Amino acid sequence: MLQPEEWVRQHVVHKLITEKGYSKNHINVEKQLTVNNLKKRYDIVVYNNDATIHLLVECKAPNIKIDQNTFDQIARYNMQLRSTYLMVTNGHDHFYCQMNYDEEKYEFLRQIPDFSR
Tell me how far apart the alpha carbons of residues 117 and 113 are, in angstroms, rounded to a whole number. Answer: 12
Phi, psi of 61 (to 5 degrees): -65, 150
What is the full DSSP assignment across 20-65?
Answer: T---GGGEEEEEEEEETTEEEEEEEEEE-TTS-EEEEEEE--TTSP
User: Interior CA angle at 41 toward 35 and 44, to 5°?
Assistant: 115
Q: Rounded to whole angstroms, how far apart are CA atoms 57 and 55?
A: 6
pLDDT digits (tens, 9 = 90+) for 55-98: 999 999 999 999 888 877 787 778 778 899 999 999 999 999 99
Task: Look at the pTM and tell me if it is higher than 0.85.
Answer: yes
Question: Per mean pLDDT, which range of 7-21, 31-45, 56-70, 97-111 is the poorest?
Answer: 31-45
| pLDDT at residue 117, rounded to an integer | 56
CATH code assigned to 4-109 = 3.90.1570.30
CA 91 to chain centre: 13
Give the 3-state secondary structure of residue 88. Answer: strand
